[in-house]
Amino acid sequence: RKEPEILLSSVEEYSLAYYEQKLHWKGIHTETSLWNTLLPLLFLDVFFYNEFDGLSFNPWPKSLEFQSLPLDFSEPEWISRRERITRVTLQKIKRGHGAYLLVKNWARWYGIDCYGIHWTAVKNECEHNIAVTEQKKRCLSLTELVEIVRCFESEQLYSISARWIQDPLGTLGQGGMPDLFLWNPEKSKSMCVEVKSTNDRLRPNQIACIHMLKEANFPVKCLKVSDFEHEFDWDTGAKRGKM
């Protein structure tokens, strides 16, 4: 029986379909939105920390219902005031407990407005189990997010998290993360892919984000659409010939 034809409207959709159908990776066209959901979820205890001595103001003066950030979030001192709990959280990530943090924070803070996280509740069995990435409006279940975290090497996730928590707005505020996030639960691996049309080039913010990921030894590939005309050895990048 002839398979139904699937119309793909962008180079990103075409590339994502290739990875999913031919190489059997799971994936999402996300750019920065997945990272703006996943990283805050790991650090909700830091965001909502409110046990300060000698601070002249309260970072959370209003009900959490109407405030998504501590008042000092944009100040250089915001993380130094939370140094201990930040250090503890990063150590847990480094020791491979990222999935545990995700589940714990989800259970404790679900539905509370917070920077980067867009919650939604849907009916029936999915209620209280869905987060929405901002940019592409892609729903991700808690199960998927845990699966994604488990596809990072601990040192990779630690390095990216340590860089981000020092300056969340500066790290991802200008966008630039690669188009696709891909993960393979069977191999416990994940990677990012930036896809460009034939005449397109990397922008400065994209170069900066790719450099950050590579510093964390996180796999990143930059591909032209024309590359998909060939069979690739995706571990080495070598072309195997026309498809």
Q: Is the pLDDT of residue 121 over 60?
A: no
CA distances from 231 to 11, 18, 119, 238 (A): 17, 11, 39, 9
pLDDT band at 135 (very low <50, low <70, confident <90, very high): very low
Residues 22-34 have a mean pLDDT of 87
State the amino acid at position 63 in one-letter form: S
Query: What is the model's pLDDT at position 98?
Result: 96
User: What is the Cα–Cα distance from 37 to 133, expressed in whole angstroms?
Assistant: 6
Q: Name the range with the highest mean pLDDT among 42-51, 66-75, 121-130, 233-242.
A: 42-51
pLDDT in tens, 137-172: 567 888 999 999 999 999 999 999 999 998 888 888
Render pLDDT for 173-220 as a digit per residue (tens, 0 to 9): 778 899 899 999 999 999 999 988 777 888 899 999 999 999 999 999
The residues facing 220 across adjacent strands are 192
Residues 6 or more apart whose CB falls under 8 angstroms from that of 25 comprise 19, 182, 183, 184
Cα(189)–Cα(151) distance, rounded to whole angstroms? 5
Bridge partners (DSSP) listed for residue 184: 189
The mean per-residue pLDDT over the stretch 109-134 comes to 62
CA distances from 97 to 19, 84, 143, 146 (A): 28, 17, 15, 11
pLDDT at 37 over 70: yes
The whole-chain average pLDDT of the chain stands at 80
- Out of 56-60, 110-114, 191-195, the most confident range is 191-195
pTM of the complete model: 0.82
